[in-house]
Amino acid sequence: MTFRILTLGCKVNQYESEALSEQLVEAGFAPAPENRPADLYVVNTCTVTGESDRKSRQFIRRAASENPGAPVLVTGCLSQRQSEEVSRIPGVRFVCGTREKAKVVDFARSLADGSRKAESPVIDVTPLTSAPFEPMRIRHFDRTRAYIKIEDGCNHYCSYCAIPYARGPVRSKPRKDVLDELEGFAGQGCPEIVLTGIETGSYGKDLDGYSLPDLLKEADRLPGMGRIRLGSLDPSVITEEFSKAISGLSHICPHFHLSMQSGSDAVLKAMRRNYTVAEAEAALDRLRRDMPGVLFTTDIITGFPGETDEMFEETLSFVRRQRFLHIHVFPYSARKGTRAASFPDPVPVEVRRQRARRLIEEQRRIKRELIESLLPCDADVLFETYENGQAYGHTANFIEVAVPSPVDRKGTFARVRLTSTDGEHALGTIQAT
């Protein structure tokens, strides 16, 4: 039987889909060719916003329509929270959640060997409180980078976020398992590894006396290690101790994605974030002091309930001060079951969107100015894509680069002289070796 996996959402979901794909191949299934329908579909869902819910359902229906009669197996965050609703979508034959995703492989195997018929939907969702970190790893990468999931779950329960209700509390991947996976990729010459989780900075909170900096120090010493990049971090993680501990490591990329969500103290308090604007700015300053050349990206939600024009202006002022390289901007989306869904003073949808557009426009200006301020310079670039005679990649501090090239350079490094920008990319030429 052939299979196709459709994935929505974060890097954790992408990692888990890749792990499921490898497990399906080991079980005797084959990936379906791109231009042909599959015999079986797996949809890995997301529920971070209302739009994510809509797209997840759309992907399930797309799978069912691509090959009517082929079983659709659904996993992920939406199915953890809404298993009954998901099971009623035509074509769905199996539903599990965010725990024990390998049940997808077991169910697929039972269909293939004839021990189970693809008839009425089966729901097998493990409660969030009853399972440890699910053993899962991948052994292959796409020539450019590999993702390793080191942590699952979140203990923060921010007022707007449904993810703790879909992922449960913090669980860390055992130290040895992470290092084994890292060593495997380093041995294959993987240029860059991204350590990711639902709340990456919480790694080790459930492990006695072992923390994320401890893991990074061990990873930094592995033979053949390439770049190490971290997934999204809560600003409160960036303590003096954290900044000092990682600043001396040779393989850590000087780029961090800090999940800010707002630049207004009043909004952060309503969101139940565990830091103030001043504390977040102190964290940014620590890393700038200890890691020269470091750059930052972030997330911002616009139109949170109760956000006034003045509060939004505070966020704009914060963004102007901190000069982020990129911002993921999200108009607020109410999530059923979260505290914020019942908050008073909802911001009209169009105002949320207008604020998002203003923030995106301001960020584009800042990005251009930030890149221009760094030019001219030389940088090592890891190339990832190639199109119409242009090679595209990223510097260690995550500036996107575009250079002319007669050949596809995917998965290779080159020294590049960066001299200008089009606003999105730094432009230049590859240096002769």
Q: Taking the domains of the chain in order of start, what are their residue ranges?
A: 2-123, 145-372, 375-430
pLDDT digits (tens, 9 = 90+) for 294-337: 999 999 999 999 999 999 999 999 999 999 999 999 999 999 99
Give the mean model confidence (pLDDT) for residues 349-361. Answer: 98
Where b means 16+ CB within 10 Å and e means fewer, 335-348 reads: beebbbeeeeebbe
Q: What is the rounded distance in angstroms from the CA atom of residue 142 to the CA atom of residue 41?
A: 22
What pLDDT is stored for residue 432 in this prediction? 83
pLDDT digits (tens, 9 = 90+) for 157-190: 999 999 999 999 999 999 999 999 999 999 999 9
Domains 2-123 and 375-430 share a fold: no
Name the pLDDT band for 15 (thresholds 50, 70, 90): very high
Domain range 145-372, its CATH number among 3.80.30.20, 1.20.1090.10, 3.40.50.150, 3.40.50.300: 3.80.30.20
- Residue 35 CB burial class (10 angstroms; 0-12, 13-18, ≥19): exposed
Q: Please tell me whether the overall predicted TM-score, pTM, comes out greater than 0.85 for this model.
A: yes
What's the N-to-C CA distance of the chain in angstroms? 48
CATH 3.40.50.2300 matches 2-123: no
Report the mean per-residue pLDDT for the chain: 95
pLDDT digits (tens, 9 = 90+) for 388-413: 999 999 999 999 999 999 999 999 99
Q: Are 66 and 38 in contact (CB under 8 A)?
A: yes
Kindly tell me the sign of the dihedral angle through the C-alpha atoms of 10, 12, 15, 17: negative
What pLDDT is stored for residue 344 in this prediction? 93
Superfamily of domain 375-430: Nucleic acid-binding proteins (2.40.50.140)
Kindly tell me the sign of the dihedral angle through the C-alpha atoms of 287, 291, 295, 299: negative
pLDDT digits (tens, 9 = 90+) for 191-226: 999 999 999 999 999 998 899 999 999 999 999 999
pLDDT digits (tens, 9 = 90+) for 47-105: 999 999 999 999 999 999 999 989 999 999 999 999 999 999 999 999 999 988 999 99
Q: What are phi and psi for residue 388, nearest 5 degrees?
A: 50, 45
